[in-house]
Structure 1
Amino acid sequence: MSDTRPRVKRRTPFVIVESATARDTRLKYADLGLLTYLLDQSEDWAVRSDQLSTGEGREGRDAVRKMLHRLASFGYYRLERRRFRNGKTAMGTAISDHPVEQWATDYVTFGHKLDIPVVEQEDGTFRVKYPDGTLGSDGFDKADAPPADAEHDEPADDEPGPEADDEPNAEAAPPAPAAKRVPPARKPPAAKKTTQEKVADAEEKAAQEKALDEEAQKVATWWWEHAEKHLGKYAGQRGGFVAVRKMIRRALAVGYSQQQCAKALQHARKHFPAAQQWQDALGTVTQHIQPKQPNGRIPYSDSATWGAQSDGLSSTPTSTDDDADDATFGVVERP
């Protein structure tokens, strides 16, 4: 089974929030409380999204969602749509006890979405997959040390040292010598890739492209059969099926799931929706835009907000699984 446990980026093994985080004025007190609560969960603790918003003293679901978005915008939290080397996918959580600049940047890059697509590498690490197909840092690349200002400063030369207990004649301890500044070591130039590495990269890219083709074909085939059954035989321009498959593939490539594509096609109610209809339908099913309905916004959906454990396409895309948004909180060891 694919690992859906959160990856926690912390500087201490305990729930000790460093001063820089506790004093981050961009966070509301409720945001800081929710972050602390998430960091305090054990590895074997599973929680559903609605558990965060139920119980005595808990805010409502909409309030919790806003907190999670604020935490994500400042680099403390995000969801990861993980693609593993075996081709399986799963939704997991990433939490940090300090702000990760890369996470905040990705939150903006992916249109202020909580879920970010990441791809597992040969060494077990993950890389973010951007809309243009390139891979970038997931924020876990470097082991963090506490910031320098978190450590106690040595007393200045003109300040007295600590007095000895019960010894009125004890002399003040001499000040510690000032630490010498060591210039940072220059990073060696990146080594050029060998022919074998280039071939491996090309093979990996080809495998990813093939996986996208297969997923797009699967969704398009399902939709074409479903549409002809519910909307009638297709009588539009030639090549409609191929065009729909291309639209689906482009959506998958930028991070939409098979399930979201299927729901968007159902929402559009067209054998071959126009480009704007397709984009609007994707925005509606993922709740990034409000549907054009006189009765207000689309009802809240756990699956759209929290994602499913697998992006596999079911035979009835409109159905929901009560346990689809389960997530397990804990620490995953990183090399």
Structure 2
Amino acid sequence: MSRRPTNPNGVRFNRRPYVHVDSATVRDTRISYKALGLLTYILDQSENWQVRSEQLSRGEGREGRDAVRKAQHELAAAGYFRLERRRFLNGQCGMGTAVSEHRVQQWADDYEEFERSLTIPVVEQEDGSFLVKYKDGRLGSDGFAPDVDAPPAEEEEEDAPAPPDETEAPAAEEKTATELKAERAAAARKAAAEKKAAPAKPNTDAPADPEQRAEKPEAAERPAAPPSGKAAAKAAAAEEKAAAEKALTDAAETVARWWWADAEEHLGVYVGAKGGYVAVRKMIHSALAKGYTQRDCADALRHARKHWPSAQQWQDALGYATKGVMPRAPHGRVPYSDSATWGTGQNLPGEQESSTPEDTSDDATFGIIA
């Protein structure tokens, strides 16, 4: 994953360390075959390559600059492509490109937020990542996945926002467990009181002579026998099992808290049925118990793109995240249509009524600006 370019004014690729195009991208009906071809060509370039519509329009078999610009706007509206006006920590500014092999909803939202402009301003952070700077001065996610092998670290979890409408979900479970423990304790006290109040049974084995009874040592004074080796092993196994379950529960809670905050940022505030957060945590717990890693679960949740995916969506997403298996479309292949693919002559998003768009963002010089 290339969150920052090797060259300050090079391309930032939102992809894995090998060239490929996701099956979902190939089948995305939001973009035409022309735009898909342009995206594939850009993904095949090196990080130091600079994307210019004028350069892309040159050569045999190319459609021309206006056609390339239309395809760029089409990709930007769908969340695959954008230009970035980057401000670095050293105060310098540069112009570069961001391209993704899979659809990024945040990029599509930013395209609309900045009035369908290809150019998006971003600001470099201390860890080398970038945040989008909006017109009102706030900073937001740039849509790139974190460069880690697991969800946020422990020190970052303390600042994670509580899940909306579900902030009391974990506390409710703890309260229930506490109440259950209190009920069991009360029942034990009641049983002990009843046993104490019951008349004692005569001891037929006790000697009739009080002196003989006094000479016989009481059973209560005898030292308790040490636990057998089998009992000790059983107790140790139970303790080990409890520790493993606690570690599994903590890991599931870590992934669930990260996903709830990430989903709220990229998909919006959750307004579904109550219990969604707890249900997602249980699904993650079950996956971890079956041998999936925290990273597998995180990738699967990102792929499912649901606050609370169904059981089948969760299984499909895990299969895609670990095996690269794309589930079959429920209705088969989409039939080909010229009008749906190439349009009927109307301008694509981001264009004016004239055939030549007025936005000339990519005409800026790609490089460091003092």
Provide TM-score, normalisation by structure 1.
0.46
Report which structure shows greater RCO (CA 8 Å, sep ≥6). 1
Greater fraction helix? 2
Provide TM-score, normalisation by structure 2.
0.42
Bigger radius of gyration among the two:
2
